[in-house]
Structure 1
Amino acid sequence: MHHVLLSGGSGKRLWPISNDSRSKQFLKILKDDNGNVESMVQRVLRQLQLAGVRDSIYITAPRSQVEIVQNQISSPISLIVEPNRRDTFPAISLAATYLLSLGNDPDEVICVIPVDSYVENDFFTKVLELEKVVNETECDIALIGVRPVYPSEKYGYIVPKESFVQGSYYHGSYFIEKPNEKEAQQLIKEGALWNCGIFAFKLRYLINLLIQKGISVTYDKLLRQYEQLKRISFDFEVVEFANNIVVLPYEGEWKDLGSWNTLTEEMSNNIVGNGKISEDSTNIHLINELEIPTYVLGVSDAVVAASPDGILVSSKRASPRLKDLLDGFEQRPMYEERRWGWYRVLDYTKLATGIEVLTKRICIYKGRNLSYQFHKKRNETWKIISGNGICILNNKEFHVKAGDVVNIQIGDKHTIKGLTDIEIIEIQMGKELVEEDIIRLFIDWNTIQQSIF
């Protein structure tokens, strides 16, 4: 069975700690059994490996998340890159055509797993049972349904066919997406289960469905046509119309950490970062990524979050409405993790002359490097503030250390590698400071050196 992990999300439900490039699954706020900080995607991979799954794991992610995935995942995982974010049906379809292009047997079982659910380790033992269920029942799709513990309005519900129970699974009847509390209470009385977004099916099933819909099943062609695919969830486009659905019930804990009120329930510390909470403040979580201190005085049942992207003060009860409040709000990410390290925007301004000025603090990890690149629209100045490394500027290699300054003009080819962790203050100046103005020549350090010497 192949396991496809879905990584997506717009980053708005947990703003300002998350953004378009650092969605909730990449936030390092949770802790493992040894007290080490980890993100949701790191937790899911660790739990899969504990369940015995070490091969046949794939991650689908939009292009904007590729570098943060590479930053956080050290094990060799195959990455299926979406040209842009288009919901779960396009993402799963692209993954299916990719697996087909590798020569996989069409009768191979594919299991799709979201990376942002919070579950105990034994949940993934249950996930592994889906392969047997799909093969035994010849169903279209097998799901995992969680026993509800309260009438939630945030989750979808699967209603099993009444009086039809076979072994440890149910045949599904119909779906209700996010009912109100009264409807949810009735659904629970009918034996409904929470739909936790796990899908298992034979590769052949989805490939045939794509053919019926007139969608290309050739991976390279679908990649080129990706923006033409309908932006819709897999639940609405596929699951609701499947004729033969089987549901495997799970009795343990399952949470979707999709808003501040649910995420803070699983945080082991009330304070992350530089700050303090007064003794008369209760049920408060403070998350501060800024270097300035933040204090909370006489406030209860709230979350305070501060990052380079902004500051949020919200009651925990109201926090699920954050995405609606941010509707229409667009801003370039002010903090990003990359394959080589991270950067934080310190200042941005546009002068009366039309020239833009952007100041960043950049950290390049030991042994990592920027791509060998140049720009057509901006100059850059690097001030090394800590550590040391090797810089290449227009095919000339030299060492840099704290206190050194490197001036990069339009068209200059440049890169830097950390011999230690190295921090840089970078000042960009130009008429248009955009990601598209990075023309990458080579990425791998050995390839860069071979091209020069």
Structure 2
Amino acid sequence: MHTILLCGGSGQRLWPLSGSIRSKMFLPLLPAPGGGTESMIGRVCRQLAQAGLDESLLFVAHQEQVALTQRHTGSNYPVIGEPYKRGTFTAAAFGALHLLAAGKAQPEDIICIAPADMFADDDFFRQFLQFEAILDASQAELLLLGTRPVYPSEQYGYIVPAQEDSGALYAPVISFAEKPDRARAQELIQQQALWNCGVFAFRLGFLQKHLERLELPAGFAALSALYPGLPVRSFDKEVAERCTKAVTIRHEGEWSDLGSWDTLTDRLPAQVIGIGGLWGECGDSYLINELEVPLHVIGVSGIVAIAGPEGILIADRMEAHLIKDILMEHSAKEMRYGETGWGSYTVLDRESGGAGLVLTIMLTLLPDHHLPEMICPHSAKTWMIVSGHGEVTVNGHTSAASAGGSYTVARGQRHAVSAFSAMKLIEVRMSEAGDDGKVYSC
């Protein structure tokens, strides 16, 4: 069986810490077994390895998240990048056809697709080991993994199974319900419905038939060429809800997508992370501060106070998910923070004038990483090294770089930075008309 982990999502519900590049799966906020913290994607990798499922893993991410995904998975697994985000169906096809084109999978092989940003206990992943046997025994075309609901959520989809023998390993799927209101969710729970975990297993040839139905190519290169014009398609809508031979198995343990501040804060190792504190009666409140200035909450219960380079959020825990709707209407035009394969960047200042745009950026490079060589035909920049040491290359000339050093890059000159230790540098970039406006994305 080949397991394809999908790294999609816009990151809006966990703003201001998550965004289009640093989505929730990269946030290192979960307690790790040996102490410290880990990210969702790191936790999932660890659990799949413990279950013996890491021999055939493939990550599908947006092309701008490939290096960051490799960084958070220790570069232990292959990662391929979609040129555009086109939904879970398209991402699943992209990954499956990549395996086929590379000769790593055949049409009769079983493919499991799952989200990379979920939180579950170890037994959840051990159930993956049953998928092949259950598909064979049931003669089903599609297998779904569901979990018993713990409350009538309006944020999850539901699977309605047939009422089978309670000792059976699987049950036929009767219907689906996508994010119902609370009253309907309660009715579904009474029908023994399951939360849809977004985990599906099927034979690769089954997916090829759906590509044929949609008049899409069954070849990796041909599908990739069509990406710019493809619509967003959901695997649930295009495959699961159309399948008449689907079965589901039930997970009785822990599972959540940790898709809101309300659900994530229940998993945090402490109520205060970062500089600041909760004072007085602050029961059930949580504070996370990524800034270098203190944040204090006094005498307010049941809230989240989240501060990061992208902004500050103060919200009732139960209402914090509404930030997604707010951002859709009032989203910021420019990102102020991003993570990459080589480190991170923070926009300190942005000034527009008649001559163009001046950006002041703090770059943080990881040890033994480098800012790849590039040419900026429409901008000039000055680098000042704040800490650490490494090398700066400008137009083929390489110089040792350490704290206090400064370097000037004219328009059109090739330039790069290599970090031997952790490095921080301030970049002042002066851009003229024609600059693509991107800060850094590699």
Aligned twin of 2:378: 377
SS of equivalent residue, structure 2 residue 185: helix
Please list every run of 5 or more consecutive structure 2 residues that lacks an aligned counterpart in the other structure. Answer: none
- For the residues of structure 2 that align with 1:166 and 1:222, how far apart are their CA atoms? 43
Deviations 1:136-191 (A, max 9, x none): 22311101111122222221111112347783111111001112222222212211
Question: Residue in 1 aligned with 2:93?
Answer: 93
The amino acid that maps onto 1:274 is I
Moved over 6 A (4+): none
Aligned partners of 1:182 and 1:105: how far apart in 2?
44
The aligned residue for residue 23 of structure 1 is 23
Secondary structure of 1:426's partner?
strand
Distance 2:219 2:439 in 1: 31
Matched-pair contact (CA < 8 Å) for 1:20–1:64: no
Match of 1:450 in 2: none
Question: Per-residue displacement from partner, 1:210-263 (whole Å, max 9, x unpaired)?
Answer: 012210111111111012222121101110000100101111011120011111
Q: Which amino acid aligns with 1:335?
A: Y
Aligned residue in 2 for 1:247:
248
Are the equivalent residues in 2 in contact too, given 1:134–1:202 (CA < 8 A)? Answer: no
The residue that corresponds to 2:392 in the other structure is: 391
Structure 1 distance, partners of 2:229, 2:240, is 21
Code of the aligned partner of 2:98: Y
- The reply on whether 1:133 has 2:134 as its aligned counterpart is yes
**Which whole-Å deviations, capped at 9, do the CAs of 1:180-215 have from their partners, x for residues lacking one?**
222222212211111111010000100121012210
Task: Report what 1:72 is aligned to.
Answer: 72
Cα 1:330/1:86, change in 2 over 3 Å: farther
Q: Deviations over 1:371-411 (max 9, x none)?
A: 11110110010000111111211111221111010000001
- Larger mean CA deviation between 135-144 and 258-267 belongs to 135-144
Q: CA deviation at 1:70?
A: 2.4
Task: Give 1:284's aligned residue.
Answer: 285
* Alignment check: 8 A CA contact 2:70 2:76 kept: no
Identify the residue that residue 403 of structure 2 maps to in structure 1: 402
Is the CA contact 1:68–1:339 (under 8 Å) kept in the aligned structure 2? yes
Structure 1 residues not aligned, in runs of 5+:
444-453
1:321 and 2:322 are equivalent in the alignment: yes
CA distance in 2, matches of 1:342, 1:397: 23
- Please report how far the alpha carbon of residue 437 of structure 1 lies from its aligned counterpart in structure 2 after TM superposition: 9.1
Q: Is the contact between residue 31 and residue 37 of structure 2 (CA under 8 Å) also seen in structure 1?
A: yes
**What's 2:345 paired with?**
343
- Contact map agreement 1:68 1:336 (CA 8 A) in 2: no
Counterparts of 1:337 and 1:70 in 2: how far apart (Å)? 12
d(CA) in 2 for partners of 1:424 and 1:38? 26
Q: 1:163 to 1:46 in 2, by over 3 A?
A: closer
Q: SS state of the match for residue 19, structure 1?
A: coil
- Please give the root-mean-square deviation of Cα atoms over the aligned residues, in Å: 1.7
Find out whether 1:38 has 2:38 as its counterpart: yes
Instruction: Name the CA shift for 1:162/1:225 in 2 (closer, same or farther; >3 Å).
Output: same
Amino acid paired to 1:36: G
- 1:350 and 1:32, CA in 2 relative to 1: closer, same or farther beyond 3 A? same
Query: Within 2, Cα distance between the matches of 1:181 and 1:341?
Result: 42
Amino acid corresponding to residue 331 of structure 1 in structure 2: K
Amino acid at match of 1:384: I
Kindly tell me the number of residue pairs found equivalent between the two proteins: 439
With over 3 angstroms needed to count, the CA separation of the structure-2 counterparts of 1:156 and 1:65, relative to structure 1, is same
**Which residue pairs with 1:447 in the alignment?**
none
| Secondary structure of 2:13 counterpart | coil
Structure-2 separation of matches of 1:164 and 1:178: 27
2:218 aligned partner:
217
| Distance change in 2, residues 1:434/1:286 (3 Å) | farther
Alignment partner, residue 146 of structure 1: 147
Instruction: Give TM-score, length-normalised by structure 2.
Output: 0.96
Show the 5 A alignment for 1:165-244. 167-244=168-245
Displacement of 1:54 in angstroms is 2.4
CA contact (8 A) 1:377 1:437 kept: no
Counterpart Cα distance in 2 of 1:358 and 1:416: 18
2:50 aligns with 50
In structure 1, distance between residues paired with 2:149 and 2:238: 25
Q: Say which SS state the counterpart of residue 277 (structure 2) adopts.
A: strand
- What's the % identity of the aligned pairs? 37
* TM-score, scaled relative to structure 1: 0.93
